Structure 1
């Protein structure tokens, strides 16, 4: 009998973690209602967002720039740069 589940077709990465780290990840995963694998995928997605997600953010910014009052642009750009800085910090 072979296991033909869809997850068997996905790429696999085996990593070695220091003593105690797997248990720490498991505690956080349990608290978030996820498996260890799902918890790690959430963290990896934050660090390595898909190009599609980045493109969506760029389109949102471009649409917002088109609609902004010229007198409010300075505050708008300050807000955008703050958001980008937050994203940068979250991915480092």
Structure 2
């Protein structure tokens, strides 16, 4: 099957491009060297520059491959930090947040890693269908989900919660489109965390007259 037959002309989207002087000749030369038509050569270049977005399964697989490589790199001084960061990323993606605790197993290490990967993928699928679980949300809150939010954003979010405008509060952290398995408990957990975070950094919010 030729490259052009992959893209039947009657099904292909058409898009006209104005080429600067000399570019057409360079494409023609490259196509001749590779044994492709000019159309196929252009498509090949576009595919390389604009690859399709990886699926969540591919993302998690790459993360676990990186964790495995980091675990084998005993000489790297930042190995532990890298493993922990990748592990945290995998858990956050799995939980459904932008972001089940695993039971200790006695299987060989590579079997356990595959089991962890499978469990996390199932968690992501479950979060997509039913929403982010409360336990996952609380774990990410403790890990610092809002740690980089400033005083004004935290204050405004607390004010929105107090006024009953949950959506406005969540929107400040781009969580307004996130589905939660237990919405009311999740909103309360977020509000409580924000109030505690504010108190730890700037003092009790209500007594300070902010709200």
Whichever structure has more helix as a proportion of its residues is 1
Alpha-carbon RMSD across the aligned residues, in angstroms, is 3.3
Give the CA deviation at 1:12: 1.3
**Structure 1 unaligned blocks of 5 or more:** 78-92
2: CA distance, partners of 1:54 / 1:18: 38
Instruction: Count residues in correspondence.
Output: 73
Determine whether 1:15 maps to 2:14: no
1: CA distance, partners of 2:31 / 2:9: 19
Residue in structure 2 matched with residue 46 of structure 1 by the alignment: 48
Larger Rg: 2
Residue in structure 2 matched with residue 34 of structure 1 by the alignment: 36
What SS does the corresponding residue of 2:10 show, helix, strand or coil? helix
Structure possessing the higher relative contact order (Cα contacts under 8 Å, 6 or more residues apart): 1
What SS does the corresponding residue of 1:29 show, helix, strand or coil? helix
**So what's the TM-score if we normalise by structure 2?**
0.28
Cα deviation code 1:36-91 (max 9, x no counterpart): 111111111121110137963652342341463372565876xxxxxxxxxxxxxx
Determine whether 1:71 maps to 2:74: yes
Deviation above 6 Å: which 4+ runs of structure 1? none
2: CA distance, partners of 1:61 / 1:33: 37
1: CA distance, partners of 2:15 / 2:53: 21
**Structure 2 unaligned blocks of 5 or more:** 1-6, 83-211
1: CA distance, partners of 2:16 / 2:56: 27
From 25, 28, 38, the counterpart of 2:27: 25
